[in-house]
């Protein structure tokens, strides 16, 4: 099957095909997602919470993102690998943004990067990264790197001013050249209006069914996350793993494992 690229994203929108995206932070998980036919794997800075036990995404470093991106890109034969630019890796200057995006591509093997926030703040950084040949995905709505300014993990774009701002900024991100925009935890009507207005695909998370695609944090959909309204739990893998591990502990303690068939004579 042909490799998905940032160009495929736009083509799929034109063809009316929805895009399925999930996060992954390691080789075996990314391999499985790729084999299942996922369109893109996001190496999200959500790894801070999902696998590092951090309270938020703010302390995730560039070195950590490169490390995780490298494992994922080694596994992905078909899916587009998008790496998150962590907090302060693009905010201080366009030159630093290019260097850090370049590390995610050159050292991590990513084929695109994602950064959070409006074009009015990061337009020059986005343009500089694009000029270096790296596709950029935007991210509007609930942007976790701004969690202290937003005052918590709340639905964004509910009042008129916020809504107008997000519609304007989505168009500005498209004009700046992003190949796609994540819309996180916004009302479905706002996501629908933005999706309709843009020629690049919107990828929703907690943004309703009208986006051009969806993304979930894999750990949330497998029962390892905090229950939220938008993250459907497809299977409770945590409960299954817990059952397996307690079964193992019990069998070791009782002497039932290893049995004859697990033993070399």
* Residue closer to ligand KIV, measured from CB, 62 or 205: 205
Answer for the pair 83, 43: CB distance below 8 angstroms, yes or no. Answer: yes
Site for ligand KIV (CB under 6 A): how many residues?
11
- Ranges within 22-81 binding ligand KIV (CB under 6 A): 23, 42, 44-46
For the bound state, the minimum distance from the C-beta of residue 264 to ligand KIV, rounded and expressed in Å, comes to 44
Give the x/- contact pattern for ligand KIV in 198-227, rule: CB under 6 A. -------x---------x-x----------
Compute CA 221 distance to the chain's CA centroid, rounded to the nearest angstrom. 13
- Ranges within 114-153 binding ligand KIV (CB under 6 A): none
Is there a catalytic annotation at residue 184? yes
For the bound state, the minimum distance from the C-beta of residue 180 to ligand KIV, rounded and expressed in Å, comes to 11
* Residue closer to ligand KIV, measured from CB, 237 or 249: 237
Three-state SS letters, 176-230: HCCCEEEEECCCHHHHHHHHHHCCCCEEEECCCCCCCEEEECHHHHCCCCCCCCC
Given the residues 35, 160, 184, 243, the one annotated as active site? 184
Q: 10 Å Cβ neighbour count for 28?
A: 10
* Residue closer to ligand KIV, measured from CB, 34 or 45: 45
Find the largest Cα–Cα distance for the chain.
74
* Residue closer to ligand KIV, measured from CB, 8 or 46: 46
Q: What does the buried/exposed string (b/e) look like for 174-196 if buried means 16 or more CB atoms within 10 Å of the residue's CB?
A: bebbbbbbbbbbbbeebbbbbbe
Residues catalogued as catalytic: 184
In the complex, the residues that contact ligand KIV under the rule CB under 6 A are 23, 42, 44-46, 84, 182, 184, 205, 215, 217
């Amino acid at each position: 099957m042909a490799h998905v690229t940032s160009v495929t994203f736009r083509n799929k929108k034109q063809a009316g095909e929805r895009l399925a995206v999930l996060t992954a932070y390691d080789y075996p998980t990314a391999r499985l997602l790729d084999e299942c036919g996922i369109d893109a794997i996001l190496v999200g800075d959500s790894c801070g919470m999902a696998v590092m036990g951090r309270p938020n995404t703010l302390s995730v470093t560039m070195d950590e993102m490169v490390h995780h991106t490298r494992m994922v890109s080694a596994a992905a034969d078909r899916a587009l690998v998008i790496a998150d630019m962590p907090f302060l890796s693009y905010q201080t200057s366009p030159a630093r943004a290019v260097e850090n995006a370049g590390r995610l591509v050159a050292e991590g093997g990513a084929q695109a990067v994602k950064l959070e926030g409006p074009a009015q703040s990061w337009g020059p950084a986005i343009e500089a990264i694009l000029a270096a040949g790296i596709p950029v995905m935007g991210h509007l709505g609930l942007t976790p790197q701004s969690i202290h300014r937003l005052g918590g993990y709340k639905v964004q774009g509910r009042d008129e001013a916020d809504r107008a701002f997000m519609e304007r900024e989505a168009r500005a991100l498209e004009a700046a050249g992003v190949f796609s925009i994540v819309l996180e935890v916004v009302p479905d009507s706002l996501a629908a209006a933005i999706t309709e207005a843009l020629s690049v695909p919107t990828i929703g998370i907690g943004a309703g069914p009208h986006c051009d695609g969806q993304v979930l944090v894999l750990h949330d959909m497998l029962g390892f996350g905090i229950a939220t309204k938008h993250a459907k739990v497809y299977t409770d893998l945590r409960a299954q793993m817990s059952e397996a591990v307690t079964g193992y502990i019990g069998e070791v303690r009782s002497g039932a494992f290893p049995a004859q068939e697990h033993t070399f004579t």
